[in-house]
Structure 1
Amino acid sequence: MAVAGERAGRPAGPGPGCREEPFSPSVLGTREHWDAAYERELQTFEDIGDAGEIWFGEESMVRIIRWLEKQQIPLDSSVLDIGTGNGVLLVELAKSGYTDLTGIDYSPSAIQLSEKVREKEGMSNIKFKVEDFLAPSAELSGFEICIDKGTFDAISLNPDNAVGKRKQYVRSLCSVLKPEGFFLITSCNWTKEELLNEFREGFEILEELPTPKFCFGGRIGNSVTALVFQRKKLRPSILDKLD
């Protein structure tokens, strides 16, 4: 599950005040939308072998891999791709030498597609599971790195209690990511300041990754935000605040 393109529900321009408006509910935040989308992409892959869209473009994958390499993250580190979609990011990580890779998505069609892409690329060591990240299974834990390219965006557009779902996302992230583990998030709906606020409990910012800039009305802004967080060693009282 991922979302890309213009900042859904808000003005695209970077002018003052445009970030104060709340997100408008969207079908992009519903499971029905993604099930239908990945059913189409699965059929397309079976017909012509096209894996579908790479969310935020190939440069988003390169940006993540370069950061991991720059930090000399061990190749056997456990990596979770949250809302893996077609699984292409994990395929590229596997090609770069990473060996402990897991992708989850709440859409069964997405997982079917990612498994077919994995088979085509000959990357049998990548694990894919149907999982709702807002209600993760007990076995989904102990990851050293979690990656999100658009899934938090989509959850933010859910017509049914998006605020509560965002809080649950943070709780789930705390439960699956090891203390001092890394969380890499790419978003087209949230600014750096907003993401800092959303993940203020339990996480600290390490780095903002460079993303493409655009000019609108004489102002320069970013159409995509990419941040690296590190999970703090959480006390139980901090977890309680996420309720």
Structure 2
Amino acid sequence: MGTSERTNGAQPESLSALAYLDPHYWDERFSKEEQYEWFKDYSHFRHLIQAHVTSHSSVLELGCGNSQMCEELYKDGVTDITCIDLSSVAVEKMQKRLFYRGLKDIKVLQADMLELPFGDECFDVVIEKGTMDVLFVDSGDPWNPKPETISKVMAMLKGVHRVLKSDGIFISITFGQPHFRRPIFNAPDFSWSVEWVTFGETFHYFVYVLKKGRRSSYEDVPVKMLETPSFNLFHEELEGEDYVFRIDVDGLNC
């Protein structure tokens, strides 16, 4: 969970989906749930991540929740890891879990991804898995998202771009299809190039790799693109709790 947006008592058509915008939902959920992986676990995309990190990389994970991704990265030799989540419950439980597992080097902080509390050019790699998707829950028409949705997404991306080192990499693991995400990623505010790969069988997940300072003057092309479903996953990805749960079928300064 990475944003402090609230529902303000509205009665939405899809209450379960819009609940993801309410921090209280995540506090209650994390108080009962020990571990859950959105968009499959690390083993399914490990090879994609490993192509962009080394043992010397400083990594920031946005919206860590109760995922084990930071632990898996640590096992792969990446020890300079900072995780953030908006939920104080998630942060406290993650801190305790890592302490008892002897992984005290991993830093876990309560923070909003829309207002990253870090200095400029702190991290080599920033990773998010399903966290940015929450911002699109109430986006309206996916071809023409609401201005407030775009404003929040841009705030997040500008923060990520700012905290990345000059040659840093942002990795976004999502259901968002390229024809919806590329116009945002390619906004003139950013200097990164945009590439993507897909993984998954029944459902296809997208792994976007944005390399800061590598933007070309021509339109970027994907490094690999597999056949995608004909229906619009972007619009349906967070429309209901049951659908989302079927996805997994198998210090502040640098």
Matched with 1:84 is: 64
- Partner Cα separation in structure 2 for residue 32 and residue 162 of structure 1: 20
- Partner Cα separation in structure 1 for residue 120 and residue 109 of structure 2: 10
Matched with 2:96 is: 116
Letter in 2 for 1:185: S
Gapped runs of 5+ residues in structure 1? 3-23, 42-50, 215-221, 235-243
- Partner Cα separation in structure 2 for residue 204 and residue 139 of structure 1: 22
Letter in 1 for 2:20: L
Q: 1:65 to 1:223 in 2, by over 3 A?
A: closer
Q: 1:153 to 1:209 in 2, by over 3 A?
A: same
Q: CA deviation at 1:25?
A: 7.1
Q: CA deviation at 1:227?
A: 1.5
Q: CA deviation at 1:139?
A: 4.1
Kept after mapping to 2: 8 A contact 1:153/1:187: yes
Which deviations, in whole Å up to 9, do the C-alpha atoms of 1:61-119 show, x marking residues without a partner?
13543234335x32021000000112511111111111100000111111112112212
Matched with 2:186 is: 200
- Partner Cα separation in structure 1 for residue 121 and residue 62 of structure 2: 13
Q: 1:34 to 1:158 in 2, by over 3 A?
A: farther
TM-score by length of 2: 0.68
Letter in 2 for 1:54: E
Alignment of 1:1-243 (within 5 A): 1=1, 26-41=18-33, 51-58=34-41, 61-71=42-52, 73-139=53-119, 141-157=121-137, 161-188=148-175, 190-201=176-187, 202=190, 203-206=192-195, 208-214=196-202, 222-232=203-213
Q: 1:25 to 1:63 in 2, by over 3 A?
A: closer
Q: 1:128 to 1:140 in 2, by over 3 A?
A: farther
Kept after mapping to 2: 8 A contact 1:75/1:98: yes
SS in 2 for 1:75: coil
Which deviations, in whole Å up to 9, do the C-alpha atoms of 1:98-143 show, x marking residues without a partner?
1100000111111112112212321111001111111122447511
Q: What RMSD in Å do the two structures reach over aligned CA positions?
A: 2.5
Kept after mapping to 2: 8 A contact 1:87/1:117: no
Q: 1:155 to 1:140 in 2, by over 3 A?
A: farther
Q: CA deviation at 1:52?
A: 1.5
Letter in 2 for 1:55: W
Q: CA deviation at 1:162?
A: 2.2
Kept after mapping to 2: 8 A contact 1:143/1:176: yes
Kept after mapping to 1: 8 A contact 2:114/2:159: yes
TM-score by length of 1: 0.71
Q: CA deviation at 1:153?
A: 0.3
Q: 1:133 to 1:70 in 2, by over 3 A?
A: closer
Kept after mapping to 2: 8 A contact 1:28/1:158: no
